[in-house]
Each structure stands twice: as C-alpha cells, then as structure tokens.
Structure 1
Amino acid sequence: MTRRYKLCVITATRAEYGLLSSVIKQIQDDPECELQLIATGTHLEPEFGLTYKEIEDDGVPITRKIPIYQGGEDAQVLTTMAAASSGIGQAIVELAPDMVVLLGDRYELLPIAGACVVLRIPIAHISGGEVSEGAYDEYIRHAVSKLSYLHFTSTEAYRDRVIQLGESPRRVFNVGDLGIANIKRLKRWTKAQLEQDLGIAIGDRLLQVTFHPTTLENDSERQFGELLAALNERPGYQIVFTRPNADSGSASINRMIDAFIADNAHRSCAFASLGYVRFLSLVSYCVAMVGNSSSGVVEVPSLQVGSINIGNRQRGRICADTVIHCSPDKDEIVAALDRVGSEAYKELVRSAANPYDSDGTAVQIVQRMKACLADYQGMHKTFYRGARDDSY
C-alpha cells in the first residue's frame, strides 16, 4: 500500500491563506497525501472578519482551530507568540505530521517553527529569501528559513539568498510565486457581482488602499497621515480600504481610516477582509493599489493594474517596472497618484513583465515535498559553504 504523507499547513492570516489555497487544494487532490490544516491567529478574531469561515466556504476541512491572538501592541504580540508556541506545539504533537508547511514572515511563525524543531518535524518554508527592510518581518523570515528543512522561493535571486544562509542547494527550489499562480487559476468576479456583494458602485477612478504598520519604524501614524492627506488632495478618486494586519500600531491606523471615511463617506469605505478572490477581483477594476503591502509589489502587476509603494516596508523586494516607489510624503504621493492616471503609465502597465511570473507552482511544491519525505533520513543539516562544498 502506498504511504500517505501527512502534510500540516498552518495559516494565521487572510492573506497567507489566500496564497496557500492552491497548495492546500493540491494536497487535498493528491491520493498520496493527507491534509492537516491548523487555522489560528486573526482567522479566529471577529475584528478581522472571522476569516476561518472563508476556509470552510472553500470546502477545506479545518483540523484544529487554535486561538492565540492577544492584541496588536508590542507586549501583546509577545503573549501571542507564547500562545502559538504552546498551543500549536501541542497540536503538532497530537497530529504527528510528516512535514509542516509555513509561508512567509509573520511573527506567529517564529514560535511555531521553533516548536517544530524541538519536535523534530521538518518544515517546508515558502517565500524565503525575500527582503522587506522596513519591518521586523525581515528578521523573522530569515530566522524561519534557518529553522526549516525544505525551501520554496519565488525568484532565483531569493533562492541564492537562502543558500547564502547556509542551506543546501539540493533543498532550495525556485518555484515562482503562489500569488501569480493563483491569479491564473482563480475565476475572478464580475463588476456586477462585486457591487452587489460589497454594496458599492465601482467607478472608473477606483483605488485600493492597504497600509500596514512599519514595525521597524516608529512613525506609522505620520506616514499614513501623509497618505490620507494626499488622498484628500485628489478628491476625484474613489477609495476602498482593507484594514491592516494585526501588527503593532494597527489600532491607530484603523482609527485614522474610520475618521477619513467619516469625512469622505461619499467616496470611501473599508473592509476587515475581502478574501482572496474578492480582493483580486476588486483590484482588477482599480486604477492602482496604493500603500505598503507586498501584494502591490508582487501580485498586482500581473493584473495589469498600477501600484504605488510607499515608504520602506517593502524596500529590497524585486519589483516590476510598473511599481511606483515614493516616500511617505504628501507631495510625492500626489505626484504618484497623478502619474498612474497618465496614458504613458497605463501603456507601461499593459506591457510590462512581472518578475514573479510562474506556472505550476503548487504542483511543484507538493511533488518536491513528497520526494523529500520519500527519502527523508532526519533533520541533520550541514552548513553549506559554497560551490566547492561537497559535504551537503
């Protein structure tokens, strides 16, 4: 009888699940695999939209729901991390997976990865090697890579960076970006469907705005205030906000969003979570995505939509030529808003290539995990020292 590999996918946020959804489906459809799914973090919190329901609506059975979220301020983040170590660690003991799948750089991942190491469960880490110098995600991403056994990066440059960390090239694979794969796979909603579901009329000058706290800087409120001031300078734009991640400083940004909407109710609204399909569908009808989310850098160019990236949060990421970078300064942001409406920029958006473009990403990930487990001899790793090193 063919062995079934128990693959445990852990998701704590709406965006993370959206990216992981194609891998989850691939695991579900593979007769040699058994899916274990742990939903935790903001998925289980009313203020973030109880997004575990979106997982269930997709027909994905949740194996464990583990509440860990304690709040968005620094001390509360530490308590959340402690709860993740104990609560999810205990679930991993009970589920006994063959491999745990983690994506990205959220702070919840660091204690989870540590628990896996103590329990000697190998980790497959997706989206390692990337750079985002304006957030402490940068530290966490590379730390999780070192705690992981198998690596899936979205570009060859990111693969090289994981290898620089001492990881064996035999366990590091450039498979492209899951977000781009999902754009190709998912059937997006029509404008009429979105308008009915969201309760808004979608005009031809729509912006999607997502701004997360800059966790290595202490002026997120000032930066977001500059963005709001720029939006006030250009009243012809319609704005849909999605609320920030559960990072330190998110509560202040949410209050500023609410105040802006109170003064601009005729042209703005906000959602705690749109879900992945609705989000991509909405952005496809936008003039541009504005803020400091990785989605604006990685995925939005493949929708042939403009992107304005503000500040340092995504500094260091590989970007398409269509991504406009500006400082968190009102005048610079206004200039960027004017540029996205120009015919020259629109032509660039229609023709530019996305460096994250990929095909078959989820299939490659699952097949590589199975191949690794078929020959798995334990978590022993030798630090790879370069091309002349034959010890890996």
Structure 2
Amino acid sequence: MTRLLIVSSSRADLGGLSAVWRQTSGHPELETQVLLTGRHANRSTDYDAAIACLPAGIPVHVAGNDIGGRDAETAARAMGDSVTAIAGQLAEIAPDLLLVLGDRLDIAPAVFAAVPFNIPVAHIHGGELTLGAVDDRVRHAVSKLAHVHFASTTDAAERLCKMGEEPWRIHVTGAPGLDSLRQQNLVERRAFLASVGLPNEPFLLVTVHPETNVEKPLAAFEAVIEAIKQLGIQVLATAANADLNGALINESLQALSKVNSRVVYCDTLGAARYANAFAHAEAMLGNSSSGIIEAGMFGLPVVDVGGRQQGRARGANVAHVDADVKMVKAAVESALGRRFNPDEVSLYGDGHAGQRIAQELMRLPAKARLLLKDFHHGGARFSAPWTIQESLIA
C-alpha cells in the first residue's frame, strides 16, 4: 500500500486537492493523509474550510507557519520555520509519496523538506506561466524537484518536457479545481446574493492579488478599486492571498465595504458559493488564476488586470488590460451583459481531473524508478484526454 501525503497551504488549493482526496480516500491501494500548512497553520478560516471538506476519518496533520502577507523578512523566516516543522512531520508520517499543487511560497517548504528524505513528489499545475508573480519561479522550482506531473493543459505538459522532464512522468489531466465547482448545486441569483448580503442586482466578482514580480505590486489593485468606484455596480470581493502586501489589500477591501454598502467583502466563499458567484456575476475583475482557469467553465467574462497572469493560457472570455483605471473601466463596461460558450472558452478540462490524477497515482512505477530522474532532451506531443472518449467518465 502507498502512503500518500497531500499538502495544502491555503484555501486557494482546496478546490483542486479536495477533488483528489475524494478519489483516493478509502481506496485499498492508497493510504491518504493530509498535511495542512501555510495559512492553515494559524487556525484561520482557511483551516476551517479545509477541515470542512476533508473526508471523515482521514488523518490530518498541521505544521509550519503562515508566511504573513506583509513583508519579505516575515515570509522568509516563516518559510524556514516551516521547513523545520514539516521535516518533523515527514519523519513521523514516513509517506511514500507527497502530492502538492501549484506555485505558492508556502507550499515550497513542504517540497524542500521532502528532498533529504528522498520522498517522491507529485506536482499539479506545473508547466504554466504567470510572469507577474514570483509564483512563476516557485512553480518551476517545484517542477524540477518533482517526480511526476499532472498538467492542466497540453501547452503546460509540453513546457515541462522542454524543461527536461521525461515525457512518461507527465500526465495531462486538466485542472482539478474545476471538479469541485462542477459538482455544486446552483441556486437562483436572488437566493445567492441574499446569502452574501447583497440585493438582487447585477454584480461584479472581484479578486485581486499583489503582483510580486514588479516594482509597483499594488498597481492592479489600485486601478481596480478606482474603477469600481466609478462604475457604480455592486461588488462581491474575496480576499487576496498571503503574498507580500496581500494583507494590505484585504484591509483596504474591508474598509471600503464598511463605508460602501454596494461592496461586500468575504474572506472566502467556499466551493458552493464560489460556483454560484461564477454562475450569476456579470463579470469577474482582478488578476486571480481562477479567472483564467475556472471562470471559463461558466462562460463568465473576465477582465484580467496587470501582468500577474501574463503567459498563462486563456480563453476568449478573458480580456487583458494594463493597470490603468480608464482601461479597466472600459473593459468591464464591454463585458457587461455577455456570456460565452463554455465549450469554446474553457481550456482547462472537463471537471474530471481528480479521477484522472487518482488513477495515475495508483499505477505509478516503483520508487526507485521515480527517484532516478534523467534530463529529457527535446520535446514531446501530448493530447487532452477530455477531447477523447474515456470509459473513466462515461
């Protein structure tokens, strides 16, 4: 039996990881355990959200620190402390395989801690680009430390191969974050808006994170806030992540919501309300990866501001603008009243990635072969399984 340790660092990865642990929990060939770190470590609402979506009886461990969302020194110290704390957990749990998702600073300590233990690492969402964030470098670093890859698109898979990863290690599965959203029940707009404290009127879904690879990390946020004030449409805003300056964004949004009744701030919506937000919003505004990856499944227009998501594959529903108030306002006005065909703009799969990932986890080669990484010279071609008839999802 393979002891699988799935690592989550915040609410941002819960949708994708929960799609996997729903499939692996209780499987006779896999012993699934979960390690909560990063924003979960301070027992915040992120931790509560994780506990709420975990299968009953699954072993849960907590280790590490929240990187803070404020300054570089706090983040760097928290990352170092997290490596130490997670190392202790790895020594105790003795996993056969570590599974991580994405590109966050607070997921890196878990991967670094696993290296001396020679624990194989499986990585979801490698091979993508987000040039406006340090996440881009973190993601590539994790990919090179990983031994098996679950790519969300064929472009990402081919990029991993160009990075020297051997083709047999790379599996195109789609983005597992779509799985959880696809399974949610949709309610009428009136009922959904009442649940978040807004009247039954058109609204924007807003999520803005700092840009961490530029000189002015809050430029996109400042442009979005000013555009919101000028547009006058009501807003449902969710929290920024734990990146440097993320706390400042959240404090600003909270302050705005207290003086403007047409702005509601929610730290996290959870899968059910997030799916309904996608289904009922007029448009999504900001620079979140969910606007690029998940929104297309609902045909939702997205205005992507600034360079944080630069390089990431996107559908025709996503309009990119610079961090300029006039451009943001014009793009939102153009998006209002539009909807797109999800089959044409959703590039990241069909909502069955969790099943594909679980299936590949159960047929991995022996540890000795996983650990012996060679450098692949050249490329390879990959196909998207959701374009092929699969008995898996029949």
Length-normalised TM-score, structure 2: 0.90
Q: 2:204 aligns with which of 204, 207, 210?
A: 207
Structure 2 CA distance for partners of 1:84 and 1:284, relative to 1, 3 Å: same
Distance (Å, rounded) in 2 between the aligned partners of 1:290 and 1:324? 10
Deviation at 1:271, TM superposition (A): 1.1
Partner SS for 1:212: coil
Q: What per-residue deviation string (whole Å, max 9, x for no partner) do you get for residues 178-200 of structure 1?
A: 12233323334554553454333
Question: Does the Cα contact within 8 Å between 1:207 and 1:288 map onto a contact in 2?
Answer: yes
Question: Does the Cα contact within 8 Å between 1:309 and 1:326 map onto a contact in 2?
Answer: yes
Question: Does the Cα contact within 8 Å between 2:10 and 2:39 map onto a contact in 1?
Answer: yes
Tell me what 2:376 maps to.
384
Structure 2 CA distance for partners of 1:131 and 1:187, relative to 1, 3 Å: same
Task: Give 2:272's aligned amino acid.
Answer: V
Distance (Å, rounded) in 2 between the aligned partners of 1:141 and 1:375? 23
Distance (Å, rounded) in 1 between the aligned partners of 2:224 and 2:341? 22
Tell me what 2:31 maps to.
34
Q: Is residue 11 from structure 1 mapped to residue 8 from structure 2 by the alignment?
A: yes
Tell me what 1:368 maps to.
360
Question: Does the Cα contact within 8 Å between 1:26 and 1:362 map onto a contact in 2?
Answer: yes
Q: Is residue 186 from structure 1 mapped to residue 178 from structure 2 by the alignment?
A: no
Q: 1:315 aligns with which of 305, 310, 313?
A: 310
- State, as a whole percentage, how many aligned pairs show the same letter: 29
Tell me what 1:256 maps to.
252
Deviation at 1:375, TM superposition (A): 6.7
Distance (Å, rounded) in 2 between the aligned partners of 1:302 and 1:263? 34
Distance (Å, rounded) in 1 between the aligned partners of 2:368 and 2:284? 43
Question: Does the Cα contact within 8 Å between 1:189 and 1:277 map onto a contact in 2?
Answer: no
Structure 2 CA distance for partners of 1:288 and 1:106, relative to 1, 3 Å: same
Length-normalised TM-score, structure 1: 0.90
Question: Does the Cα contact within 8 Å between 1:159 and 1:173 map onto a contact in 2?
Answer: yes
Partner SS for 1:144: helix
Calculate the aligned-residue CA RMSD, in Å.
2.0
Question: Does the Cα contact within 8 Å between 1:175 and 1:358 map onto a contact in 2?
Answer: no
Partner SS for 1:321: coil
Higher deviation after alignment, 103-112 or 151-160: 103-112
Q: 2:107 aligns with which of 103, 106, 109?
A: 109
Distance (Å, rounded) in 1 between the aligned partners of 2:357 and 2:63? 26
Question: Does the Cα contact within 8 Å between 1:207 and 1:290 map onto a contact in 2?
Answer: yes
Question: Does the Cα contact within 8 Å between 1:15 and 1:276 map onto a contact in 2?
Answer: no
Higher deviation after alignment, 360-369 or 155-164: 360-369
Q: 2:297 aligns with which of 282, 286, 302?
A: 302
Tell me what 2:49 maps to.
54
Tell me what 2:226 maps to.
229
Q: Is residue 324 from structure 1 mapped to residue 322 from structure 2 by the alignment?
A: no
Return 5+ residue gaps in structure 2 as ranges.
381-394
Question: Does the Cα contact within 8 Å between 2:173 and 2:349 map onto a contact in 1?
Answer: no
Tell me what 2:389 maps to.
none
Distance (Å, rounded) in 2 between the aligned partners of 1:376 and 1:56? 34
Tell me what 2:88 maps to.
90
Distance (Å, rounded) in 2 between the aligned partners of 1:326 and 1:69? 32
Structure 2 CA distance for partners of 1:377 and 1:351, relative to 1, 3 Å: closer
Structure 2 CA distance for partners of 1:36 and 1:351, relative to 1, 3 Å: closer
